[in-house]
A and B are shown apart, each in its own frame.
Chain A
Amino acid sequence: MRAWEWARPVRPVRREVLSATPELEEGRPPLLFVPGYGHGAWVYAEHWLGHAAARGFPAYAVSLRGHGGSGPAPDATLRAYAHDVVQVAAGLPRQAVLVGHGAGALVVAHALARYPARAAVLVAPVLGGWATFGAAMRRNPFGTLPAVFGGGLRLHRRQLFSRELPEADARRYTGRLGRAARRAQWRLLTGAEPEPPVGRPPVLVLGSPDDLVVPPSALTGAARRYDSAPLLFPGMGHDLMLDARWQEPIDAILDWLDKGPARDDRP
């Protein structure tokens, strides 16, 4: 009984959805990319949307409320973010694959309890908890601490990208970053576990052992939650979709989907 879903539905907001669709419809499932906190749909529009469409997958990316081109929402909660994802997913013509990056993976994990996705991919997932907070504090105390008191989380470009990415690109990308709503940010520290996914979709977890935001132990932990092991891309930063070698992870995701991962049929 989800009492508050009935009593206090999430308010509608204008949502930015960017898309790239294949020239020929090949019957592949649509992909819905969910950016992490501070990121907008644009991070996927740089490389991944076009690449997925070129390989025959209709690809969409949503900006969570308060991010990118979506409507402002300073008081947004994690529930509102998950609502945004479910709304866009349910609006797609066919059952979608949800791909969440960073804290967007946490949003996806919550959305999976509300929408039976065909499959889910968690890219460098930030699922919250004190271990992630400890790692962030060690690496970037001045960017992390203000977030505890309701300020914005500021990530350094060295946390986000490898040294292979040209400096100018890295500056340009970090310059476009925004911030998540205070209440949603706090959920990274205090958040309850998401409910189990509905429809038992297969879940792939991938990331980089050299990610300076998500420690390898967190990656393994996330993968274990879904009974798998993480797929690793050494030498890449946290923002895999913008980094110099962006093509490797997206190809891995699409290959995994092409293989038709099986639903989890255990009772």
Chain B
Amino acid sequence: MPTPTEHHGRSEPETTPLARSRDGRPVSDRGDTVCVIGAGASGLTAVKNLAEHGFGVDCYERETGIGGAWNWRHDRSPVYASTHLISSRPFTQFPDFPMPDDWPDYPHHSQLLSYFERYADHFDLRRHIWFGTEVVRVEPVDDDRWDVTTRSTGGYGPERTSRYAAVVIANGHNWSPKLPRYEGLEQFRGEVMHASSYKDPAQLRGKRVLVVGAGNTGCDIAVEAAQQAARCWHSTRRGYWYAPKYVFGRPADQVNDTLLALRVPLRVRQWLYHRTLRLTVGDLTRFGLPRPDHRVYETHPIANSQLVYYVGHGAITPVPDVTRLHSHSVELTDGRQIDPEVVVFATGYLPRFDFLDAKILGDDEGVGRPRLWLNAFVPEHPTLAVTGLVQPDSGVFTLSHWQAVLFARLLRLRTTRPDRVTAFAARVRAGAGERYSGQVKDSTRHWFEVGHADYLRVLERALRDLEGK
């Protein structure tokens, strides 16, 4: 078996007696090399853009393949057999590596993985990635540098600490399930699963299923249950706007962005959106769905053409929130009792940065909500960035790409133009916690919500400022 050193075709870094970690362990000094944590979509684009800007890059990936959440062989992948994109191709692809234009508007997850494989091969990224290696600790040391301690996934073998000039955290935020606490959950005798463990419709076939949560995943699973299960209840806390994936024969997000491109004000866009939904989807309360208690754009958009269709066929029964569970039944807020065999909690995920002191990211309470500028840059730590920690009304990858480009240019300028870097740091401090989404409902689901157009405009401005344009 090749050693990691042979595999990467580079020499093992020298360990000097001077380089020691805080607790006295020897440290390999990797000089100007940048460390990237995770080889999912955001990690890959960080590796590519840092290498493109002339940096050495070491990327640590706990799995043995790339793709992160989109590689469904991975433990932590939330995708299931029939997952398709909910944002259309131009919204999803990297801006400098388009998906083939003869692909469908909403590709399948396996196509997305093949897209990442091609991206990695095209730009020769695999040579930077240490597979099967997880990051245990990331600690700041002098001169804005970082000690990164790694070990092989599974914990066998010794830990290794390497010192880096900068760190990009791209460990994803859709893998650690957020499970709701309901009274009686432990007594429930049926099967309880989080959407992260849902992989195949066979898990629901012929059963009475309750799906909790109206995120895009919840709606997709409810639609699958409608086709496979004996009975499907869909529990939502409030009413939502269910946007179809197509309007006027075109992907709905592209139609929406035509209005954005024309700089149509939000109020007008909301009015047009309501009118369009009224004409296409119609009055949802007729189907027994609750009336939305908010205007469109105030919650994360749901793109699902089939949910209303199956509600109309009686294959999905909309129900309100769950109050408590009994051994063989579930009680709802309207007093009804239903008797599902399987309960699927599509209640989302929370980010986790176990390898890092939460305070470094400004998450003083340790709840998993960092306080950053542009959802990426860390006040007081100019050589640390988080990529992909956004929940946009589009795909994430374009945003991760530009975050990585901005960070790479920032690092490049640290030696040549310290004045601009200082100005940038002041901007990061002043803008930490800024939102880019207009008014949204206050829930964990919207912690990282960004409007892609607003967000990219601020990022573009930051790039221009950094380049002195």
Contacts and interface: CB of A to CB of B under 8 A. Distances in A.
Contacts of B118: 90
B258 A1 contact: no
Interface stretch (A91-99, A128-136, A159-167, A184-192): A91-99
Interface in A1-42: 1-12
A12 B101 contact: yes
A68 to B, nearest CB: 18
* Residue of B52, B254, B417 with most chain A CB atoms under a 10 A cut-off: B52
Interface residues of A, number: 29
A3 B257 CA distance: 7
A83 interface: yes
B335 interface: no
B363 to A, nearest CB: 29
A10 B261 CA distance: 16
B293 interface: no
Contacts of B97: 90, 115
A7 B90 CA distance: 8
A67 to B, nearest CB: 17
A86 interface: yes
Interface stretch (B5-13, B352-360, B453-461): B453-461
Contacts of A114: 95-96, 98
A6 B254 contact: yes
Interface in B382-396: 394
A6 B261 contact: yes
A83 B93 CA distance: 14
B122 A94 contact: yes
Contact of A93 (B100, B122, B254, B456): B122
B413 interface: yes
A267 B98 contact: no
Contact of B124 (A10, A87, A92, A94): A94
A1 B101 contact: no
Contacts of A12: 101-102
A7 B254 contact: yes
Contacts of A3: 257, 260-261, 453
Interface of A is mostly: loop
Contacts of A11: 101
Chain B interface, >50% SS class: helix
Interface string B221-261: 00000000000000000000000000000000111011011
A9 B261 contact: no
B257 A9 contact: no
A10 B118 CA distance: 22
A25 to B, nearest CB: 13
Nearest to B48: A116
Interface string B429-469: 00000000000000000000000010011001000000000
Contacts of A92: 122
A86 B261 contact: no
Contacts of A265: 54
Nearest to A87: B101
A91 B90 contact: no
B75 interface: no
Contacts of B416: 267
Contacts of B261: 3-4, 6-8
Interface in B204-224: none
A199 interface: yes
Given A90-B122, A199-B52, A2 B101 contact: no
Of B100, B122, B409, the most chain A CB neighbours within 10 A belong to B122
B271 interface: no
A6 B91 contact: yes
Contacts of B260: 3, 6-7
Interface string A73-117: 000000000010011001111110000000000000000001110
A263 interface: yes
Interface in B406-429: 409, 412-413, 416-417
Contacts of B102: 12
B412 A267 contact: yes
B309 interface: no
A1 B260 CA distance: 11
Given A87-B98, A92-B122, A198-B96, A116 B258 contact: no
Contacts of B460: 1
A93 B121 contact: yes
B89 interface: yes
Contact of A1 (B255, B413, B457): B457
Contacts of A2: 95
A113 to B, nearest CB: 9
Nearest to A196: B467
Interface in B339-388: none
Interface string B77-111: 00000000000011100011110111000000000
A248 B194 CA distance: 65
A251 to B, nearest CB: 27
Interface string A129-154: 00000000000000000000000000
Contacts of A6: 90-91, 253-254, 257, 260-261, 394
Contacts of A86: 98
B417 A267 contact: yes
Contacts of B394: 6
A7 B257 contact: yes
Contact of B96 (A8, A87, A116): A116
Given A1-B457, A3-B453, A7-B261, A95 B123 contact: yes
Nearest to A11: B101
Interface in A215-241: none
Residue of B98, B255, B457 with most partner-chain A CB within 10 A: B98
Interface of A: 1-12, 83, 86-87, 90-95, 114-116, 198-199, 263, 265, 267
Given A6-B261, A7-B255, A87-B98, 5 more contacts: A1-B456, A1-B460, A9-B254, A90-B98, A267-B412
Query: 5 closest Cβ contacts across the A-B interface?
Result: A3-B261, A12-B101, A7-B257, A7-B258, A6-B257
18 contacts: A1-B460, A3-B257, A4-B261, A6-B260, A7-B255, A7-B258, A8-B261, A9-B90, A9-B101, A10-B101, A87-B101, A90-B98, A91-B100, A93-B121, A94-B124, A114-B95, A116-B52, A267-B412
